[in-house]
């Protein structure tokens, strides 16, 4: 099974940049999207249905903001929108689809780059999603939490760790949360297969950053330890240019 996660930074803009042709080519069984920035009635959903996907869409209340979605060729047993905390659910930040033997969640973690208020909101989200995932594991040990975490975990995951040490997305408190999360029993699937530097999933639109590969790795497929042996490969699809992020892919047995 091929599973993709992709922060599309606006599904309508991505579709105008060739996202559908790319989707046909890669042909994932499941794809989790973040920052769709649209309601489902604002796009031609029949395109996805024609490709064999069921659509689960969870937009933010605010128009043109945030929102997550899952497209799947495998019919889920059940679907849950949100995490039962209204301040996050109003921003469309988490969507869960349950299959026969595991659950896939697509998540869009808040950014703290706009100031202290949103950074505080981000820390609250980190605390709450940590607890949410620990509780969920008790009833469903087979989980994959994929998406834009808006955090570089280690120095290897960012192009200039020294100059960014006080930047939201690479703050000590955020990195400590990633340490805690992975130590609690979640496997960073990409690092399971690849320990090399200069592998990034997001690049600023400024200063020709993408062409110079001055990026950040902030998108992850995190799998619970019972899923680890089922992970067969993990890759970053950096050639896809429909967004300031690129997709990430795992193959699951």
Report whether 142 belongs to an annotated binding site.
no
Report whether 244 belongs to an annotated binding site.
yes
Edge-to-edge order in the sheet of strand 30-34:
54-58, 68-72, 30-34, 2-7, 248-252, 231-236
Answer whether 68's CB lies under 8 Å from 94's CB.
yes
Q: Mapping DSSP to helix (H, G, I), strand (E, B) and coil, where does residue 57 land? A: strand
What is the secondary structure of 93-138 as a DSSP string? -EEEEE-SS-EEEEEEPPP-TT-HHHHHHHHHHHHHHHHHHHHHHH
Report whether 150 belongs to an annotated binding site.
yes
Q: Is 148 a catalytic residue?
A: yes
Tell me which of 6, 56, 108, 220 is the catalytic residue.
Answer: 108
Tell me which of 6, 56, 88, 148 is the catalytic residue.
Answer: 148
Q: Is 108 a catalytic residue?
A: yes
What is the rounded distance in angstroms from the CA atom of residue 133 to the CA atom of residue 153?
18
Phi and psi of 111, rounded to 5°? -95, 145
Report whether 221 belongs to an annotated binding site.
no
Question: Is 233 exposed, middle or buried (CB count within 10 Å of its CB: 0-12, 13-18, 19+)?
Answer: middle
Report whether 21 belongs to an annotated binding site.
no
Give catalytic residue positions.
108, 148, 245
- Binding residues, as ranges, are 7, 35, 148, 150, 244-245
- Binding residues for Mg(2+), as ranges, are 7, 35, 148, 150, 244-245
């Amino acid at each position: 099974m091929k599973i993709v996660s992709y922060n599309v930074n606006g599904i309508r803009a991505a579709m105008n940049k060739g996202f559908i042709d790319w989707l046909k080519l890669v042909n994932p069984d499941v794809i989790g999207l973040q920052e769709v920035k649209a309601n489902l009635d604002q796009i031609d959903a029949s395109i996805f249905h024609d490709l064999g996907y069921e659509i689960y869409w969870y937009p933010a209340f605010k128009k043109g903001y945030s929102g997550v979605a899952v497209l799947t060729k495998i019919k889920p047993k059940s679907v849950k929108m949100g995490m039962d905390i209204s301040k996050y659910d109003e921003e469309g930040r988490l969507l869960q689809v349950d299959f026969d033997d595991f659950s896939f969640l697509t998540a869009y973690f808040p950014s703290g780059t706009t100031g202290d208020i949103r950074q505080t909101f981000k820390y609250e989200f980190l605390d709450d999603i940590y607890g949410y995932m620990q509780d969920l594991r008790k009833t469903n040990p087979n989980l994959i939490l994929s998406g834009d975490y808006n955090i570089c975990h280690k120095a290897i995951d960012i192009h200039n760790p020294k100059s960014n040490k006080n930047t939201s997305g690479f703050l000590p408190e955020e990195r400590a949360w990633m340490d805690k999360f992975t130590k609690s029993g979640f496997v960073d699937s990409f690092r399971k297969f690849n320990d090399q530097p200069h592998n990034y999933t997001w690049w600023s639109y400024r200063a020709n950053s993408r062409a110079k590969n001055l990026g950040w790795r902030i998108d992850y497929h995190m799998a619970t330890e019972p899923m680890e042996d089922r992970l067969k490969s993990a890759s970053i699809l950096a050639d896809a240019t429909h967004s300031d992020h690129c997709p990430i892919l795992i193959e699951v047995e």
